Structure 1
Amino acid sequence: MTGRKRWSTEAILDAAAELLRTGDTESFSVRKLAAVLGTDSSSLYRHFRSKTELLRAVADRILLTAMDGHHPEGDWKQRITALALRLREAFGQQPQLAAVWGRYASSGAGSRLVMEEALQALRASGLPDEEIPARYHRIAVLIAALIASEAGVSTVTPEEHEQGMELFRVAVLGADPERFPALAHFARDVRPLGVDRRAAFEEILAAQLDQIEAAVRPG
């Protein structure tokens, strides 16, 4: 009698990434993954102790992809900006996995590469060592939030997008000027969240880096 096929850790991660790409983290389960692979859940638990551990490993592979071939260039602000944009691009290709990173984080090799580059760049800024961990945390939270937010918009179907745009127009252009005077005043200039997100991403990150630069600037 032939036994079930043994899957490598990399093959399991490949299948998990594809299942997440076509679905979402809420519906994802080890049982569903096992069914895709034609095996049982117990065989997967030999590789990963829990669903969370598996999801962290999937997210870490996105970080590894982002850091592949990365060579730091420029000053510390340019390095952090380049790092953020690499992460944005990597998760942009698999937006469903951005929520996995934001929710479960990662402790693998990809995560360590990202952390190392960010911390090295912050040390080059001139910040005292005792201030760097807190500054790093703020930047990490900001980047993860921006990427997850953008990924959420990019997974919307064309029909959902059009429906959302119509609801936005009704909510904004139809606002009662007596109850919502500011909204009525700016109605024709306020843009939906999905518009020009790359510029917003870079400007928000730049503002955070400017705060750091101001903190280390003499006087």
Structure 2
Amino acid sequence: MTGRRRWSTEEILKAAAELLRTGDAESFSVRRLAAALGTDSSSLYRHFRNRTELLRAVADRVLLAAMDGHRPEGDWKQRITALALRLREAFGEQPQLAAVWGRYGSGGTGSRAVMEEVLQALRASGLPDEEIPLRYHRIVTLIAALISAEAGFSAITPEEYEQGMEQFRVAVLGADPDRFPALAHFARDLRPLGADRRAVLEDVLAAHLAHIEARTP
């Protein structure tokens, strides 16, 4: 009698990433992944202790791929900006996984590579060592939040986009000027949430880095 195939850790992570492309972290389960692989859940628990650990490993796989071949260039602000854009590109190809990273984080090799680059860049900024951990945390939280938000917009279907646009037009252009005077005043110049998503990350990050730079000796 032929036994079940033994799946490698990398094969499991690849299959999990593919499953997450068509769903989300909420609907993802080890049982569904096992069914997709044609095996039972117990065989996957030999590689990962639980669902959260598996999701973190999937997110780290994206980080690791993003950092592969990365070579820091420029000053500290350019290094952090380049890293953020590199991560955005990596998760842009797998938008469903951006929410996984933003929610579950990661503690693998890819995560350590990202942490190391941000910390090295901050040390090069001239900040005193005692300020760097806090600044690091705020930068990474900001990048993860912006990438997750941008990926969420890119993952919607054309039908969902059109429905959202129609709701936006009704809510904004049809606003009662007596109740919402400012909204009515700016209505024709406002754009829907996500319209400028490509520029938002760079603008917000640049402003935050400028704020840090102002505090350096």
TM-score scaled by length of structure 2: 0.99
- Counterpart of 1:90? 90
Residue 169 of structure 2 corresponds to which residue in structure 1? 169
2:177 corresponds to 1:198: no
* Deviation for aligned residue 1:162: 0.2
Q: What whole-Å deviation, never above 9, does each CA across 1:32-74 have from its counterpart, x for those lacking one?
A: 0000111000000000000000000000010011111110000
Shift of 1:180: 0.3
Q: CA RMSD in A?
A: 0.6
**Pair 1:71-2:71 in alignment:** yes
In 1: Cα distance, 2:63 partner to 2:190 partner? 34
State the partner residue of 2:131: 131
Question: Displacement of 1:200 after TM fit?
Answer: 1.3
Provide Cα deviations, 1:114-173, integer angstroms capped at 9, x if missing partner.
000000000000000000000000001100000110111111100000000000000000
1:18-41 Cα offsets, whole Å, 9 max, x none, are 000111111110000000111000
CA distance in 2, matches of 1:178, 1:196: 29
SS across alignment from 2:89: helix
Q: Which amino acid aligns with 1:31?
A: R
Q: CA deviation at 1:105?
A: 0.4
Alignment of 1:106-117 (within 5 A): 106-117=106-117
SS at match of 2:189: coil
Length-normalised TM-score, structure 1: 0.98
Pair 1:23-2:23 in alignment: yes
Residue 41 (1) aligns with residue 54 (2): no
- Aligned match of 1:208: 208
Distance 1:33 1:7 in 2: 12
Q: What number of residue pairs does the alignment pair up? A: 217
Residue in structure 1 matched with residue 182 of structure 2 by the alignment: 182
Distance 2:80 2:24 in 1: 29
Q: Which moved more, 1:192-201 or 1:56-65?
A: 192-201
Corresponding residue for 1:154?
154
